Amino acid sequence: MRKYYLDNLRWLVILVLFPYHTLLLYSSIGSYYFHVANSMVANAFLLCFAPWFMQLLFTVAGIATYYSLKRRNSTEYLKERVTKLLLPAAAGVLLVIPVSVYFGFLYSGYTGSFLSLWLSIFSHPLEYLANGIIIGPLWFLLYLFIVSVVALPFIMKYKKGEWRIPMEKVTVPKLLLMIIPLTIGSFFLNLYPDKSVVQFLLLFMAGYFLLSDDSVQEKLEDKRWPLFISFVVLTSIYVVLALSILSSSADAGSATTSILSLFLMQLYANVILWLGVLGVMGMGKHYLEFKNPTTLYLSAASFPIYIFHIVWINLFAYYLIGWLPGMMALQVILTMALSFVFTIATIEVVRRIKGIRFLFGIKG
């Protein structure tokens, strides 16, 4: 039986990217492309979501893999991963991200043509790869492909019955112990700045091996309020502390920071991460188990939305900043609204072009 609440969680998280990537331009946290202001409101919004919302997508992907491999063999699954993740990521890097980069460069004073910039990017790919510009938000598709492939041999051994997790013994307190390996894993294989392949692999595997079980999902639903309230309280404290650091002149990442302090900071961030994943899943199971034409459409379009949204955000932000100087609130609202409309329009155009829609993993 399909779990519609997982589909709904996925597209809801992806829609958060419209305010998230728009406000990133106005924050002191940093953007892929250009920096407009240091708004505390923008910082607060970003800090509320940054520790957990993309991590939830990896967990949901692990659960989805459990259901996918019920009707696919490993070869079919890998083929699906290539067509849905790897190929769209490659197409996005070549055709989508350079457009986003172009508007960021224009804002910074670039006067050349788009073609010149495109040729420059792919003539010196390592230079643009090092600062993340050439990949941008498409890191998610690449990471998800990597962890799917790495996890598959373990999954197939489990499916063959070579080992078993006693699900009847999995309790919410035991699930909370995942915070420790997540914290340790977050220090390793940060191939993209501050994004650990190991941590995302652990989240994916936790989704497949633990949270895919119906009885475990029911336990999360039963404990949804304690989990979610704890998550909200700890996130609020985290936001207040982080805002105070951002607004002060102290360098929180200085060399005087001890290894113990760094570990404790990572531990706290991972407590928020895992409580967020479990709490939001519990709430989702209770309140989001439904479908209608809108939810089904957004669920099917969630990955294409992810690929195309950043172009329209950067385009509209670039022009609106010039057209509405000093009107941040209006700039943000219009950028989010227009970029959403044009992202959906782009998907509708692309899905009607057979050769192009295949590149972006869109069904006709």
Residue 192 pairs in a beta bridge with: 195
Note the pLDDT of residue 130. 64
| Cα 174 from Cα 215, distance rounded (Å) | 14
| Cα 17 from Cα 313, distance rounded (Å) | 10
Q: pLDDT per residue over 328-345, tens digit each?
A: 999 999 999 999 999 999
Contact 9, 288 (CB under 8 A): yes
The tens-digit pLDDT sequence of the chain (364 residues) is 789 999 999 999 999 999 999 999 999 887 667 888 889 999 999 999 999 999 999 999 999 999 999 888 999 999 999 999 999 999 999 999 999 999 999 998 999 999 999 998 888 877 777 667 788 899 999 999 999 999 999 999 988 877 788 888 999 999 999 999 999 999 888 777 678 999 999 999 999 999 999 999 999 999 999 999 999 999 999 999 888 887 774 444 444 456 777 788 889 999 999 999 999 999 999 999 999 999 999 999 999 999 999 999 999 999 999 999 989 999 999 999 999 999 999 999 999 998 899 999 898 7
Note the pLDDT of residue 2. 84
In degrees and rounded to multiples of 5, residue 324 shows phi and psi of -125, 65
| Cα 342 from Cα 348, distance rounded (Å) | 10
Domain assignments of the chain as residue spans, ordered by start: 4-245+257-292
Note the pLDDT of residue 134. 84
Note the pLDDT of residue 255. 42
Residues written for the chain: 364
192: Cβ contacts below 8 Å, ≥ 6 apart: 132, 135, 139, 143
Note the pLDDT of residue 56. 98
Contact 43, 265 (CB under 8 A): no
Place of tokens 């091996």: 209
23: Cβ contacts below 8 Å, ≥ 6 apart: 39, 41, 42, 45, 46, 332
221: Cβ contacts below 8 Å, ≥ 6 apart: 282, 285, 286
Per-residue HEC secondary structure of the chain comes to CCCHHHHHHHHHHHHHHHHHHHHHCCCCCCCCCCCCCCCHHHHHHHHHHCCCHHHHHHHHHHHHHHHHHHHCCHHHHHHHHHHHHHHHHHHHHHHCHHHHHHHHHHHCCCCCCHHHHHHHHHHCHHHHHHCCCCCHHHHHHHHHHHHHHHHHHHHHHHHCCCCCCCHHHCCHHHHHCCHHHHHHHCCCCCCECCECHHHHHHHHHHHHHHHCCHHHHHHHHHCHHHHHHHHHHHHHHHHHHHHHHHHCCCCCCCCCCCHHHHHHHHHHHHHHHHHHHHHHHHHHHHHCCCCCHHHHHHHHHHHHHHHHHHHHHHHHHHHHHHHCCCCHHHHHHHHHHHHHHHHHHHHHHHCCCHHHHHHCCCCC
Q: How far apart are the first and last CA of the chain?
A: 25
Note the pLDDT of residue 253. 45
Note the pLDDT of residue 254. 45
Token pair for 4: 């519609």
Q: pLDDT per residue over 182-229, tens digit each?
A: 999 998 887 776 789 999 999 999 999 999 999 999 999 999 999 999
- Does the reported pTM lie above 0.85? yes
